[in-house]
Amino acid sequence: MGLRNLLGVALAFALVASGPTPAQASAPVTPPGTPQAAGTQFLSAATVDLAWMPAATGTNPIAAYEVYARRPGWNYPDQLLTTTTSAWVFVPIGGLRPATTYQLYVRARDTSGLPGPASAPVTIATLPSDIVPGPPVATDATATTATVSWRPPAVAIERIAGYDLIVPPATPTQPIQIRTSTGPSTTSAQLTGLRPGTTYTFIVVARYTDGTPRSAPSARGTVTTAPSVPPSPPSDLTVTTLTPTSATLSWTASAPGDFPISRYYTYVNGGALGVPNPGPDVRTVTFAVSPGSTYEVYVRAVDQAGIYSAPSETFTFTAPGQ
């Protein structure tokens, strides 16, 4: 064997000897931790809201949470109800049967597909369908108002004390907001003060005179208001008075869109100007400046529906030195 061949064999042995051992080649992979169920709300005939605390991250980031249901006493595989990336918010869970007991649990799955342990189960019993009202449905919607109606539960009217139209809280720490309440024979409500081009989510809760059950929530319903024409941008921005320590900004009024102008908002160097926002009939503001400093200012109008105009053109100026 020649010298060159001997050197090649020696180099190959050296590379094998210096390579990682099987134990060093890969570290153990840790799965995600166990989520902790935080509670439920608005249990209905076929739905419930479930919230849980985030699971601890293992070796890989958490990709999703999976919510499963099992029915005690049934020898069937657990049912995957939903997959979501959310945690510490109420997630609407559907696909349940009326008047049925379930155990719900959550597990995290990481980006490699490795699942973590299941949370402790939460036991629920869905309500009979006859005591649950139908979800709210928008029967008429404008930019700022909407009429919603719902189907009454299939019970005698004397059992019903009334209805509450509720905005479901997003997280366990938010309060329940009752938007309006009606009497037992009223199954619609007129909503005002809505924002144009916005989708709202509501549920209806039937209150019963006998208190058993005390309330029965509907499934979720959504209301989407019509879009609105915004005001035009303010124009002709200029500084009418300028000293080393103050500047007076003025502009030409915006043209209203679908609603009257409510106020003007002024901005400097990308942030709020820090002065009172003038009303619709005032189109000038005075603010403090520093000698020799340069400022970029612009103005936006907002109407009575809360819709902002596009920004005006930016006006740039430099305060004189002292």
Predicted confidence (pLDDT) per residue in 175-211, tens digit: 999 999 999 999 999 999 998 999 999 999 999 998 7
* Mean pLDDT (whole number) for 294-313: 95
For Cα atoms 248, 254, 257, give the angle at the middle one, nearest 5 degrees.
155
At the fourth CATH level, the homologous superfamily of domain 129-224 is Immunoglobulins (2.60.40.10)
Question: 116-134: per-residue pLDDT in tens?
Answer: 999 999 999 999 999 999 9
Residue 217 corresponds to which tokens in the numbers above? 């929530």
Domain boundaries, the chain: 36-125, 129-224, 235-318
Q: Do domains 129-224 and 235-318 have the same CATH topology?
A: yes
CATH class of the domain whose range is 235-318: mainly beta
CATH 2.10.10.90 fits 36-125, yes or no: no
Question: 228-284: per-residue pLDDT in tens?
Answer: 999 999 999 999 999 999 999 999 999 999 999 999 999 999 898 888 899 999 999
Instruction: Give residue 211's pLDDT.
Output: 74
**pTM value?**
0.73
